[in-house]
Structure formats: structure tokens, C-alpha cells
Structure 1
Amino acid sequence: MAAVEHLEGNLKFFLGDREAFNLIFAVLGPCAKVYPSIKSRLSTFSAKVLKSAATSPAIEEHLRQYVSKVPVSPCQKKKDLTDEEVLVALCTNNIIPGYSRALLLDELLQRRIEIFTRVNEPEELDKQMLAIFGRPGIEELVAQMPRRTPLKTIEMVFLKLLAVFNPNYNPCTVCMFFSLNVIREFCRIWTIPQWVCVARYMVEMVMQEPLQLKMAVDLIEHLIFVDPNVQLIVDAQDPPYYYFEEPDAAATRRHPAGLRAAHAKFSGVYLYL
């Protein structure tokens, strides 16, 4: 029994010296066949080493003689997630144990050729849009949309976003979508409510995240090319005021009542059409 205690107390030495290990087991092996207490002690020792320590194949072979079944180190099996669960995890940034954000994105994009599925079901599309554009949003998927979303689906999403301002959406994610897709052919003609809606998203974005002012300005610069009947006027104030105004700016300034209406006014952004 003293030899077993010596082995247990100097485990690092014996695992690192194969000859010493073979020598002590040459003594303990025959003893284990005669004395059940030694066999039981060696069985417990061997199981513990095989479970927790890295050993050479030769030493592992010795140890396996004394355990009927080698314990397997417990490892957490990854849960198989549905597409909906992946979207929710990405949107809320509540990453499931065993995954990372990058791994979830990669898995979702491998499953889906297109970002949106079942777009012919309005409720399903709304659900997916909320997962992607809802707070905090999944900007990585928005960035993939121009390459992995049919033009017709992009148009459907575009029209839904501009139908009414949705406070549940992350305005930064929505504005990113507009910036990437405003050059599309179906974006050439806008209604007054759509102009109002996009202005609201821009203002909400800057109010919530002032560092996103550059994105707002870049989006405005894109928008002034969308409709030739609308132009951008910047009022030199602090902070500056942005106006979407009719081309004959001088005339409309002289006759403010001649403007069709100031249809939107949000914290420094004025929309004139």
C-alpha cells in the first residue's frame, strides 16, 4: 500500500518518467491480483488519471487494465437551434452557451440562401423583420441583404419600413438598410409619409446615438438624388438644420406659404416637399 501512496504523491514525476512508471507498476501489478484493497486503490487512481491528466499511450495502456470503463470527461453538447432561436439570440445578443455570435451568424447563413424566408406570409415576414431590425438589431444580416435577398423582397421590406415609424425598431439598423438600398429603382419615387418616416428614423438615430450623425448626413446626401423635385438646404445654425425643399428655393423662401407643407419637424430636421 505504501507503493500506491508513493505513486499518488508523486504523480507528476511518474507520468513524466515512463521507466519509473513501468517499474512501480511491475511491483503493484502482481500485488493487485492478490490483494483486493490494492486493486481497488489502483482502480480509483487509474480512473482519476485517465479522466483528468494527459498521458502517453503506453502509460494509458497500463492504467486501462485497472478500470472496467474509462470515465469520459463531461462535455456540454450544443443544443440544436431553430432559425427563429438563432435570430432571437442574435437580436437580443443573448448568446446560447456553447456558441458565439460569429458562430450563430455563420450557422444561420449556411442554412439560408436568402436572409428572409416565407415572405409570402405577412405575419412571418413581420416576425423576421422585428428580429433583424428590433433593438439592438442584427446589422450583420442587414449588410448581407444586397447579396442574399431578392430585389422583390428588399422592396417589400423597404415599403414596410416606410409605411409607419416603428419605435420597436433600432433606427440605426433601419437607416443602415436605407443607405444600402436607396439606389434601387423602386426608391425613385417617394410619398410624403415615406419622407416623414425616414426623417423620423434619422432623427431618432442621432438623438439616441450622437456618434451616428455621419451616417445620417451620408443618408441625406443619398436621398437628395432620389427625387429630382427635392433638394437639401442646410441652415447655418448650431446645430445645423437640414431642409428637403423644392428646387426653387429662393421663391419658396420668399413665399413660405407656397410650400406644400412642413410635413415633418424633428429636432433639427425639417422636411419640405
Structure 2
Amino acid sequence: MASVYNDLNRPPLNEHILQRALMVPGAGLNGHGVAALRVLPEVESTNTALLGAAADGAPHGSVVVAEAQTAGKGRLGRAWVAPPRSGLFVSILLRPEAPPNRWGWLPLLAGVAVRSAVARVSELDVSLKWPNDLILPGSAERSNADANADTSYGTDRKLGGILAEQGGGAEPYVVVGIGINVTLRTDELPAPHATSLELAGAKVTDRDTLLRVLLRTFGSWYADWSGADGDAERSGLAAAYRAACATLDRPVRAELPGGTVVFGHATGIDADGRLLVRTADGASSPIGAGDVVHLRPEQ
């Protein structure tokens, strides 16, 4: 009979053990613990599930984890597909007290936290691709299997992604979704430019360990950012993101809605979390995450 224990390389997460380890009454991430945590066998999307719970009054710091997603969401409606228990699929509900005009930093905050957690657990060289991808550096040589790879990643490989969605109307909130490829095998990869922790030779691929470190790291960064009233510079978030972002100091091609293309050199991240691209005429163009369709490295 089929069982979640049939694949010993992909054991299920234990909700009760994780709750005891991570839930701190009244903490709600600002105290580095989560307010509520559910591990669901299968959902369409952890973001969709948590957005629904948020509308019903779920508290700040609530977390939903899924063993499998049937309609996982990426940025701009792109799908996120993976076999059950092969990755970490988690969403975090935030009801920030910081000014809403600073909430654009939340997906970048998630990127810093995820990058730090994954690098610590896996002992791999992990970077961020602006605005929302976790990547592993690739070699200059491509194999024949990479012929159809997404050129927006160059020789790098996508390990995970982040999607932040806002809801709530007059009382807004943000749900930050995180997906990480953990034990995907070569024949299970959704695209030629993808990889997994296992394929990359990670020291540890235990999802329980990774989830604990990720949520604690996220809580620490969120507390610092919130304590600075959402000021990314004062909290140290901006400096940490710039240090982890592989997009910076590279020539890029930004494809925008309507067919507009911006060529230039990625020089920095502005106060609103937008990518600054210096074009050939010397002008600096800020590009928001919601405005870019593809961001490709230029050779």
C-alpha cells in the first residue's frame, strides 16, 4: 500500500514536533517564534491557503507548510511544480506595523533569510537573483542538456523562489511564499535551469532542519526590520541584500510589460527595493519587481 514513508529520502514533516519547536505564544515572529503552524498534506498553493486564513483573522506570524502543491504559484502567474515532499513549500502571514510604502522590502527580506538559512544548512554557495530567486552559481561551460535552459539565469541554476501577495483591503496584510527544491532528482526538475539541494551536493537535505532554521532566521530579520520601522538601511537589511545579490555589478537586460527593454548595468538597490540600472546614456533607471517580466544577464 502506498505510504508517505515509502520514499525514505522524503520523510513527512511532523506538525506537532514543529509546533512545539517553533511556536512561541504571543511572539508572532517579532520574538523569533511563529504564532501558529500547520503542515497540510496537499493544497493548491500555500499562499492561497494562507490568504484565505488571513481573511478569516489568522494572526500575524501564522505559517502554512504543504507536503505537496497542486497549483503552486510563482511570480506573474508562473507555475511551481514539484513531487510531494521533494521540496519545502511554506507561506508566512505578516501584518506589519511599518509604513506600507516600505513593504516592498518584505520579499527581499525573505530572500536574505532564505539565502542565509539554506547556505548555513547546506554549506553551499547560495546567492539571490533580483527580485525573487534563490540561485546556485553555474560554470561557464554548459552541458548539452542545458540547451533549452532559460537564458534569464545565464549559467546559474534556480534553487527556489519567493512570492509575496497582499490582501486585506482597509486592513492590509502580506503573505510571503517560499519554495525550495530540496531532493528533486534530475528527471524531476521542472526546467533545465533548475536544480535542487541534493543535486548540488548539500551537506544536509533534511526539510525539518531547513524549515526550523529558515523560520528562525526570517523571524530575526523581520524583528530587526520592524524595529527600525521598516527602514531597510537602518535595520541592515539593504546591506545584507546587496551583499547576497548576484544581479548587481553585472550587465543586464530588463524586459518590461508592453515590450519595452532596458539594457544597462545593475548598479544597486534603491530605498524602495527597486533595481537600479545605469543605461548607456548614464541615466539610472529604477525597476520595480512588479514591473519586470524577465531580467536577463547580458554577456
With the length of structure 1 as denominator, give the TM-score of the two structures: 0.28
Higher strand share: 2
Q: Pick the structure with greater CA Rg.
A: 1
Q: Which has the higher contact order (CA 8 A, sep 6+)?
A: 2
With the length of structure 2 as denominator, give the TM-score of the two structures: 0.26
Higher helix share: 1
